[in-house]
Amino acid sequence: MNASPSHRPHPAEWTETQSLLPSAERDLPAGRHQFHKEQMMARIHEDLRTSSRTSATSRVAPVKRSNPFLRRTILLPAAAFALAGAVVGGLALTGGGTDGGRTALATGPALTTRIGAADAKGAPQLLERISLAAADTSAPTPRKGQYIYIASKVADSYVKTDGDKSEAVSKELHSRQVWNSLDGRDGWLIEAGETSDEGITLKSDVPFSGAYNALAGLPTDPDALLQRIYRASDANRDPEVPRDQAAFVAIGDLLFESYPPAEVGAALYKAAAKIPGVVSVDDAVDATGRHGVAIARENPVAGERTEWIFDKKTLRFLGERIVVVKATAGNPLKVGTVTHTSAITERAVVDAAQQVPGQVS
Specify the higher pLDDT residue, 52 or 299. Answer: 299
What value does the mean pLDDT take over residues 301-318? 95
Q: Which of 282, 252, 248 is nearest to 265 (CA)?
A: 252
Please report which helix (H) or strand (E) contains residue 125, including its range: helix 123-135
> Which residues have C-beta within 8 Å of that of residue 89, sequence separation ≥ 6?
153, 173, 285, 286, 287, 288, 289, 290, 341, 343
Contact in structure between 80 and 167 (CB atoms under 8 Å) = no
* pLDDT score at 61: 34
Q: What 8-state DSSP symbol labels residue 214?
A: H
Alpha-carbon distance 338 to 86, whole Å?
Answer: 6
> Which residues have C-beta within 8 Å of that of residue 223, sequence separation ≥ 6?
271, 274
What value does the mean pLDDT take over residues 235-258? 89
- Residue 62: pLDDT over 50: no
Q: What 8-state DSSP symbol labels residue 77?
A: -
- Confidence band of 65 (pLDDT split at 50, 70, 90): very low
pTM: 0.74
- The domain segmentation of the chain, as residue ranges, is 17-350
- Residue 68: pLDDT over 60: no
Specify the higher pLDDT residue, 45 or 315. Answer: 315
* pLDDT score at 100: 54
Specify the higher pLDDT residue, 112 or 350. Answer: 350
**Where do the DSSP E strands lie in 84-146?**
98-99, 102-103, 107-109, 118-119
Alpha-carbon distance 20 to 228, whole Å?
Answer: 9
- Confidence band of 76 (pLDDT split at 50, 70, 90): very low
Alpha-carbon distance 249 to 255, whole Å?
Answer: 10
- Residue 277: pLDDT over 50: yes
**pLDDT digit string (tens) for 23-48?**
333 333 333 332 333 333 333 233 33
* pLDDT score at 132: 96
Burial classification of residue 151, based on how many CB atoms lie within 10 Å of its CB (0-12 exposed, 13-18 middle, 19 or more buried): middle
Contact in structure between 187 and 213 (CB atoms under 8 Å) = no
Contact in structure between 34 and 42 (CB atoms under 8 Å) = no
* pLDDT score at 104: 61
Q: What angle do helix axes 222-234 and 262-272 make, rounded to 10 degrees?
A: 70
> Which residues have C-beta within 8 Å of that of residue 176, sequence separation ≥ 6?
45, 151, 152, 153, 154, 189, 190, 191, 192
